[in-house]
Structure 1
Amino acid sequence: MLKSSTSLLLFTVGIFSFDAPAQNFDTLLNKVVSNNTELMSSVAATHSELLSLKSENNLPDPEVELEYQWGRHEVGDKFDVNVTQGFDWPGVYAARGKANKIASEAMSYLNRSNYIDKRLEIKQTLIDIVNVKKNMAVVKGRLALMDTMIEKYTTGVNNGELTILDLRKLKIEKIRLNESMAALESEFALLKSTLEVQNGGKNCDDIIASIDNYPDDVILPAEEYEKIIEENDPSVKYSSLMMQSQAQRVKAERLTRLPGFTLGYHHSWEDGDVFNGMIVGVTLPFFSTHNKVRAAKALSRSLEYDEMTVAIKKRATAKADREKALALYKQMSAYEAVLKNDNSVDLLGKSLDGGQISLLDYLGEMDYYMQAERDYLAAQYQYHQTLANLNKYKVLD
């Protein structure tokens, strides 16, 4: 297994530091997930959907009819009361009940799937924040160096030892660096507002201040991802169970073509005489069930194709993400091999002080090395984003 790199460049001086324990990232991630209101909303929505499905299996409401008729004086009045209850063929309710039971299990997997997707979304936001903070550290280091050099060159110009042109070059370089910092600060502010929304509207300054390093994820063997998708992917299980539930609904729709019944009680009062009796009716569903079975079968086929499509897409995506992560790991490692313990900044400073290179050459070289440092950070960032997506189902281990 390949571990994420734990050494991180202190780019301004060309040395590496070491990551804090990975559980710090996961602890902060779990804190935000627990505050997320969208997850609470999705759970309520799936519960509402399940209740709607169950309500379809209820008996129709009983009917009460009152009838009063006025007759001629010599005949008298007539009063009737009917209380009736209609219901489908008994097997319909059993089939719908089985469908709802399977759907209930499917909804639990849908909630898990929504949880995983939202957790990944929040995790990627935190990874974005780590990336921006690391890039800001690079630019801050360069700005600190520019301030030192501007102070030095200002003294040199005042003493007549250095030219005003060189001082202007340094100030122009600082303006460019400030522009880079402003862009990063704008991105940071946007990410902060995004995280606050994901944190249920709660202040997240302490979370942002605490998170400086990426999670300690690993790339697993290819066959392990096949197993994870088969055993741990709730969206695949959701699709499978919904297909089974729909099969029971097809059965229920077939049974609705059988007669329904109405049973009831009849009470009649006429000219002082009282009559009590039963009402028995039969509903012949010649028209109401037209095309319902075919519609249910079509939906069942659609869900079957969805199940196959979801599984195929998941496997293909996992394979592509794993290959991408491996390529990024190699790229990241190549940068580390060159940049670790790099003393280019010191060497360039000595060359400038010794007159071996001009200030313009120095600034160009410094910009080149800073871009290399940011290219490394870009590879590191893409690696962890890809790995987060690749390992998102491991949360259910």
Structure 2
Amino acid sequence: MNKYIVSAICGCLFSVTGFSQTINVEELLNQIEQNNIELKGYQAFIESQQLENKSTNNLPDPQLSGYYLPFGDNTTGDYTEYEVSQSFEFPTVYGARGKWNASKSEQLASAYATKRQEILLQAKGIVLELVFLQKQKAIETERRTQSKQVFDQIQNLFDKEQVGILDLNKAKIAWIQEQFVVQQIESDIQIQLSILKTLNGGNPIEDISSQIVLRAEIETLENLWLEKLTNDPRLQELRANEETSLQKIKLEKNKVLPNLALGYNYQGVSGSNYSGLYGGVSIPLWNSKNKVKAAEANYEYQQSNTQVITTSLYSQFQQTYNRYALMLEKYKEYQTTMDNLDSEQLLFKAYQLGEYSFMDYYVELQFYRTATHRMLQMEKELQLLQAQLLKHQL
């Protein structure tokens, strides 16, 4: 059976990705993106921040002021005055602030994309774990059947007094252990499905087939990194931070210009009145002091931060890629070696024909089972590493 297991594992690793007849990986991740409560909440937060940012570019409220002065020693009559005015910043400030708000919206969009990517990568990791558990369950179910057959055979031999109680007890323990292994795997599958259901906003997930796969061969390190530089939301967020800080410099430079005010003024006394336009201008002496310098210093920091984080991300990416390439090479070597080994099925037949005692059969069996389990583990690790490398494609 070992050779068949190896062939099945390798076939899955190199075939086409799929879940079942009704759902595939992309569809499931799309469902989670639509239903995930954390992402929905983050979308609402982004909307509120964007509206708040837009509100900072509104004109201040118009002002209405008036004077009625009937008291005092005067001979000309009561004095009346009122004024309606609208103050505003220098017109170019609004354009600069609009660009600054647009860059902050890009920041928020990149932050959301980063959060989305984290959640979808977590979901994909759970899916890969479920696939591993499903394959392991299929293997262990077959082993449980074989263990029961061995136990029944030894029970018959024991009844005929051809084997001792020790062999019978060992065979029974081996069967019980296999039953427990299958039950434990089934429990682990339910736990993972429950986590996936939570990520899907509480909506149930269909049972996941073990036929999900990832392509084994991927692009070169250089090509993948260039693709990541363009599409990875973490790197996009860094660039958005730079652009926002640059727009902040332009905004602060524009805010050095004076504020303006326009309005209408009326003055009246003893039947005479005067009315006309009102104009005002601020003297920008104190409010903008050091703000341009602060914005320029922040821009320099953002540029440096982008360079440091990008270098660190490339180093991590390179390490992951090298681990993946090495493991893929070892996996293929392991596959070739396993193909040349005798299988569990052949060993079981040899035992049935009396070529092995129970103890010899059990010792040999553990070797093949350990090798098969290692094969499954290597496949899962390969898929998890690949998911990390292709995270920017989510």
Same fold (TM over 0.5): yes
Of the three residues 16, 21, 31, the one matched with 1:21 is 16
What displacement does 1:109 show?
Answer: 4.6
Worse overlay, 306-315 or 126-135:
306-315
2:157 is aligned to 156
Task: Summarize deviations over 1:69-94 as a string: whole Å, max 9, x none.
Answer: 55379877655433222222333222
- Does the CA-based 8 Å contact 1:12-1:141 persist in structure 2? no
1:58 is aligned to 58
2:136 is aligned to 135
Structure 1 residues 63 and 98, CA, compared in 2 at 3 Å: closer, same or farther? same
1:3 is aligned to none
Give the 3-state SS of the residue equivalent to 1:219 in structure 2: coil
Structure 1 residues 237 and 213, CA, compared in 2 at 3 Å: closer, same or farther? closer
Give the 3-state SS of the residue equivalent to 2:208 in structure 1: helix
- The reply to whether residue 189 of structure 1 matches residue 190 of structure 2 is yes
Structure 2 distance, partners of 1:64, 1:211, is 73
2:381 is aligned to 382
Give the 3-state SS of the residue equivalent to 1:209 in structure 2: coil
Structure 1 residues 82 and 336, CA, compared in 2 at 3 Å: closer, same or farther? same
Structure 2 distance, partners of 1:68, 1:180, is 93
1:146 is aligned to 147
Structure 1 residues 279 and 158, CA, compared in 2 at 3 Å: closer, same or farther? same
Structure 1 residues 77 and 153, CA, compared in 2 at 3 Å: closer, same or farther? farther
What displacement does 1:303 show?
Answer: 1.8
What displacement does 1:170 show?
Answer: 1.8
TM-score normalised by structure 1 residue count: 0.83
- Does the CA-based 8 Å contact 1:318-1:390 persist in structure 2? yes
2:265 is aligned to 266
- Does the CA-based 8 Å contact 2:123-2:199 persist in structure 1? yes
- Does the CA-based 8 Å contact 2:266-2:275 persist in structure 1? yes
- The reply to whether residue 49 of structure 1 matches residue 69 of structure 2 is no
Amino acid at match of 1:134: K
Structure 1 residues 69 and 152, CA, compared in 2 at 3 Å: closer, same or farther? farther
Amino acid at match of 2:7: F
Structure 1 distance, partners of 2:140, 2:323, is 28
Structure 1 residues 105 and 35, CA, compared in 2 at 3 Å: closer, same or farther? closer
2:200 is aligned to 199
Task: Summarize deviations over 1:14-68 as a string: whole Å, max 9, x none.
Answer: 5633436325543443443453334444344334333333322222222233555
Which stretches in structure 1 are left out of the alignment for 5+ residues?
1-9
What displacement does 1:105 show?
Answer: 4.7
What displacement does 1:378 show?
Answer: 0.9
Worse overlay, 62-71 or 246-255:
62-71
Task: Summarize deviations over 1:260-288 as a string: whole Å, max 9, x none.
Answer: 22322233455555443443333334443
- Does the CA-based 8 Å contact 1:29-1:122 persist in structure 2? no
Structure 1 residues 290 and 175, CA, compared in 2 at 3 Å: closer, same or farther? farther
2:126 is aligned to 125
Q: How does 1:64-143 map to 2 (within 5 A)?
A: 64-71=64-71, 79-105=80-106, 107-143=108-144
Which stretches in structure 2 are left out of the alignment for 5+ residues?
none
- Does the CA-based 8 Å contact 1:92-1:252 persist in structure 2? yes
Amino acid at match of 1:364: V
The alignment yields a C-alpha RMSD, in angstroms, of: 3.1
TM-score normalised by structure 2 residue count: 0.84
Give the 3-state SS of the residue equivalent to 1:86 in structure 2: strand
1:305 is aligned to 304
What displacement does 1:259 show?
Answer: 2.5
- Does the CA-based 8 Å contact 2:17-2:25 persist in structure 1? yes
Task: Summarize deviations over 1:152-193 as a string: whole Å, max 9, x none.
Answer: 222222232332221211222233334433443333222111
Amino acid at match of 1:145: Q
- The reply to whether residue 360 of structure 1 matches residue 359 of structure 2 is yes
Amino acid at match of 2:178: L
- Does the CA-based 8 Å contact 2:3-2:338 persist in structure 1? no
Structure 2 distance, partners of 1:80, 1:172, is 103
Structure 1 residues 104 and 13, CA, compared in 2 at 3 Å: closer, same or farther? closer
- Does the CA-based 8 Å contact 2:33-2:120 persist in structure 1? no
